[in-house]
Structure 1
Amino acid sequence: MSRTLKTLAAAGALLLATACGSSGSSSSSQGAIDPPDLKPQKKIGKAEKSVNLIAWAGYAEDGSNDPKVDWVTPFEKKTGCKVNTKTAASSDEMVSLMKTGQYDAVSASGDASLRLIASGDAEPVNTELVPNYKDIFEGLKNKDWNSVDGKPYGIPHGRGANLLMYNTEKVKPAPDSWSAVFDKGDKYKGKVTAYDSPIYIADAALYLMKHKPSLGIKNPYALDQKQFDASVDLLKKQNANIGEYWSDYLKEISAFKSGDSVVGTSWQVILNTAQDEKAPVKAVLPKEGSTGWSDTWMVASKAKHPNCAYKWLNHIVSPEANAQVAEYFGEAPSNEKACKLTADKNHCRTYHADDEPYWKKVHYWTTPTQQCLDGRKDAKCVPYAKWVQAWTEIKD
């Protein structure tokens, strides 16, 4: 996995910034967005000979980074669709690129996916045209970040949880709560780390949801002004203890190895790599639960190669390809059958791929909207644009 991280670094796309989702409840998006009335494709026609993708680094490997890592070439040989991939460094970039009309599909994270749905840049998908959809874990279907009112807008790719990682030599007793980075963070002043993204405000909201119930937070992505202000205030207080906000996970690994960071948010792949490199670290899904992410392959409403796009969607979530990408990237696969095909037979156990009770504790990143995602009609929630503004103020 260390090789994977170095490859991604070389690709210059380690900023897996602001991906999004929501908690494990079934999606209707609570009427929070009203997308254009677009219709899904009815059938797959003749392949157009090419497909233009926007993807996170590591999602569409063709052997150029590592000859042994290639699930694009078999797809091209089988379908006749040549894959052209634009690697994006952020969700904002993905949204901008999709608006150009030059791309057919995108591996959108939740903050991008709802924006693409609302703007009409992504169309509903016909899951009957994606045979491998039937084997996707049920816990990933029809969720707030990939569907609206029960209408699917994409095919789930994979998922991961945001964990609390800590230095076992410096942080004692072993923490089981996010209080280690919030209320008790001054104990590790200057050595606390946090994910560098406006969506991290949801981590504070999740903590307050459990520790200050009087605020009435039900969904960490649906915050009215009072709830939002409380979350921002908590993060401003935390800022005094932060040594570094991270987005490049190679840097986070280095910080934990050197001791510059001793406690903070992390991913399973970071934990695995840090442990492989002999860093004295462990990680836990805290008792409050956590935030997390799940990415979705979506079809552009202006796709010039929709048939090849659908063929790609089916390929990338096939057991074979999904196993390869999940293991290479460091995430839980979306296809249940992929678990039997990973080179590391413990991969799905390590990443909790089929552990639905585990995922019920994860509130997947999703785009905050003015109409509250928790269903409230008597309140206005703070939209994502103001989260972005507040994040700048938090770090100042």
Structure 2
Amino acid sequence: MRNRKKMGLLAGVLAATTAVAACGTAGSSNPPPGGHGFKPPALPALNALGQPEGELNVLAWPGYAEDGSNDPAVDWVTPFEQETGCQVNVKPFGTSDEAVNLMKTGQYDVISASGDASLRLVAAGDVEPVNTALVPNYNDVFPFLKDKPWNSVDGTSYGVPHGWGANLLTYRTDKVQPAPDSWSVMFDPNSPQKGKIVAYDSPIYIADAALYLMKHRPELGITNPYALDDKQFQASVDLLKQQRPMVSEYWSDYLKESQALKSGDANVGTAWQVTVNLTQSEGAPVAATLPTEGATGWSDTWMVSAKSKHKTCAYKWLNHIVSPQANAKVAEYFGESPANPKACELTEDRNHCTTYHAGDADYASKIWYWTTPIEQCLDGRTDVKCKDYGEWTRAWTEIKG
């Protein structure tokens, strides 16, 4: 889902800048623990570790498996190889849809999956349950990241939490006054910023509209922005169609959004913290906030391929990537909150976890992490059917025209 190309260029930026940050746990309306309502293929989890197989094929968001080739100072792959003897081959991907298709080939052992991909991988049988007892560092992961709808099904874990962040409201401080505290600046048809709005280019952006309607049209009864029945879904789609003429650009590459903010082509938009950091570092007067309605966000999970031939190496990678040392490096390099609280003691920037609200449950409760919409409503309703991701994809094409 996130296009994280050119992350190597941002290592210095992320270390040198701070801003309103993003992290979190589950959404705020007490969603049921884990995914539910569908039966994934019956696949066993690994019972015990064996001898490392000597190789590991990693499918990852750019910036998640760095071996020093982008920046010699940024390398947590080489120590893993030296410790385990598992030689790592990394394949980066730019979107969750691309990642899902690549996993179907069976060529990769592990994947860093966002919530809009993870349930699809589980339902297709492309990933298998994870025996967390074989991942010692899992014990240290923030409890509020475990057993969530995007990384488990009916109490069965399908992966190890990695890092997380929020989709923030960013704005030009010289053009948007007073500072906004609501998504209304992007959705209200009378917004003074119409024509200067940038929005995220993905079907999952429908959830942002649903989240807005949760607060502004409570009669719709939306309790989870990823669980929308016919009426709720249509209202969300209609809101985005209403917004469409107000949007100057849809972005999937955060560098393009940054450019729009710097040039003045956009004054407000949905952004990741990395976008805000970069844009500020290049001299543009931007800031970001978590609006009163809350926000969508991401929580990434490392998952094991059901077809993996290197499962001991895979489990050793899962343990390594959430170790305090590696998790600190990834979180600081990419610009997100680590999954392991012990990582906070090891970041070069001692304020990193404060900036990114690590462990801040109140802040976290305002974030709804990307979760794959499925027909079985994720909010627990059984008397209606919800729109699945295929319906979201078709609607997004219609919204954009």
TM-score by length of 1: 0.94
Tell me the equivalent position of 1:23. 27
8 Å Cα contact 2:5-2:62 kept in structure 1: no
8 Å Cα contact 1:32-1:369 kept in structure 2: no
8 Å Cα contact 1:27-1:150 kept in structure 2: no
Structure-2 separation of matches of 1:184 and 1:279: 27
Letter in 2 for 1:234: L
Tell me the equivalent position of 1:293. 298
Shift of 1:5: 7.1
8 Å Cα contact 1:27-1:149 kept in structure 2: no
Task: Specify which of 268, 271, 281 is matched with residue 266 of structure 1.
Answer: 271
Tell me the equivalent position of 2:386. 381
Tell me the equivalent position of 2:58. 53
Task: Specify which of 107, 113, 119 is matched with residue 112 of structure 2.
Answer: 107
8 Å Cα contact 1:181-1:264 kept in structure 2: yes
Aligned residues: 383
Tell me the equivalent position of 1:64. 69
Does 2:138 align with 1:133? yes
Alpha carbons of structure 1 residues 9 and 68: separation in structure 2 relative to 1, 3 Å: closer
Structure-1 separation of matches of 2:32 and 2:48: 26
Structure-2 separation of matches of 1:261 and 1:85: 35
Tell me the equivalent position of 1:343. 348
Shift of 1:42: 1.0
Structure-1 separation of matches of 2:400 and 2:162: 32
8 Å Cα contact 1:268-1:351 kept in structure 2: no
8 Å Cα contact 1:22-1:145 kept in structure 2: no
The one-character-per-residue Cα deviations of 1:29-55 (angstroms, maximum 9, x if unpaired) are 463321012121111100000011110
Letter in 1 for 2:356: Y
Shift of 1:6: 4.2
Structure-2 separation of matches of 1:6 and 1:366: 26
Structure-1 separation of matches of 2:158 and 2:339: 16
The one-character-per-residue Cα deviations of 1:343-396 (angstroms, maximum 9, x if unpaired) are 111111111112111111000010111111111111111111010111111111
SS in 2 for 1:85: strand
Letter in 1 for 2:64: Y
The one-character-per-residue Cα deviations of 1:289-335 (angstroms, maximum 9, x if unpaired) are 11000110000111100000000000011100011011111111111
Tell me the equivalent position of 1:361. 366
8 Å Cα contact 2:26-2:365 kept in structure 1: no
Tell me the equivalent position of 2:81. 76
Alpha carbons of structure 1 residues 346 and 391: separation in structure 2 relative to 1, 3 Å: same
Structure-2 separation of matches of 1:348 and 1:28: 26
Alpha carbons of structure 1 residues 299 and 5: separation in structure 2 relative to 1, 3 Å: closer
Alpha carbons of structure 1 residues 392 and 63: separation in structure 2 relative to 1, 3 Å: same
Letter in 2 for 1:314: N
Q: What pairs with 1:105-254 in structure 2 (closer than 5 Å)? A: 105-184=110-189, 186-254=191-259
**Identical residues among aligned pairs (%):** 65
Tell me the equivalent position of 1:13. none
Structure-2 separation of matches of 1:153 and 1:7: 27
**Unmatched segments (≥5 aa) in structure 2:** 11-24
Structure-1 separation of matches of 2:121 and 2:284: 40
Structure-2 separation of matches of 1:379 and 1:102: 38
Letter in 1 for 2:397: T
8 Å Cα contact 1:158-1:326 kept in structure 2: yes
Shift of 1:56: 0.5
8 Å Cα contact 1:22-1:366 kept in structure 2: no
Letter in 2 for 1:351: Y
Structure-2 separation of matches of 1:215 and 1:307: 48
SS in 2 for 1:116: helix
**Unmatched segments (≥5 aa) in structure 1:** 11-20
Structure-1 separation of matches of 2:363 and 2:45: 33
Shift of 1:28: 3.8
